[in-house]
Copies of this chain bind each other. A is one copy, B any other.
Amino acid sequence: MKLKRSGRLVDMTRYLMEHPNTIVSLTEFSERYESAKSSISEDLAIIKESFEAQGVGKLVTLPGATGGVKYIPYIKKKAAESFLTSLGQMLSSQERLLAGGYLFMTDILGDPFIIKEIGRLIASVYIHNDIDVVMTMETKGIPIAYAAASQLNVPVVIARRSSKVTEGSTVSINYVSGSSKRIQSMVLPRRSLSKGSRVLIVDDFMKAGGTIKGMMHLVAEFECLTVGIAVLVETGGESPKLVDRYLSLLKLGQIKEGTAVPIEIGNYFNYFREE
């Protein structure tokens, strides 16, 4: 289709946003809009400027004969801080306290807009780590895993507590739950990870880290590499953690009856690097 600049800008913005972390060649855009590459380059400069001014992402131009452009989602430090602060406030309501030191987060994890932002924060940290796949354990980590994966443009694999007929053959491991010290098992379909994949592990909540440790074992079992670990909420109480290096968006402190839930920003900004 032949389009004027204004029409091209709208369509290219949409296209790039729907294909994050993907190289689009200038030739592809040039043919799509029946426009000279020089015009396309000017369009991209305008989009780049807007994205960077808004702090929603970068456009990286790849040089060479096969030159192209890649939309890299990221978030600005200030926006990340303000999002985490308001998320922390939402979670600090006393009514959210449940037995066993857990927090009721189901409503927040059910909000696609919040989930998308959480995914964007996680993806912003790991975007340059050549992640091949995002892994999580059923159930609550799943939406977070998809939100991060869609920004990173990689697939999701889901570990489950027991093997299902719909998964085909599976690989199973046993692990010790860090908090309850019980032996549990975790399975992953044999077809789901190829050898050598670089894996980002994501989960909603981490106490001692037994489940995460289990996932790391499973990753190793498939001869893959755990490149990063990101959790939405870690608890501050349990120590020591079974996992050394992990990113947490929020940290839940020691709970006292009758006071607000003590939530603070986790170690996120130790990993975050402003672009």
Contacts and interface: CB of A to CB of B under 8 A. Distances in A.
Majority secondary structure of chain A interface residues (helix, strand, loop or mixed):
helix
B11 A9 contact: no
B142 A112 contact: no
B167 A50 contact: no
Interface in A183-238: 189, 191-192, 205
Interface string A139-165: 110110010011001111110100001
A111 B192 CA distance: 11
Contacts of A106: 157-158, 166-168, 189, 191-192
Contacts of A18: 116
A158 B105 CA distance: 12
Number of copies: 2
Interface string A1-13: 1010111011101
Interface of A: 1, 3, 5-7, 9-11, 13-14, 17-18, 46-47, 49-51, 53-54, 56, 98-100, 102-107, 110-113, 115-116, 138-140, 142-143, 146, 149-150, 153-158, 160, 165-168, 189, 191-192, 205
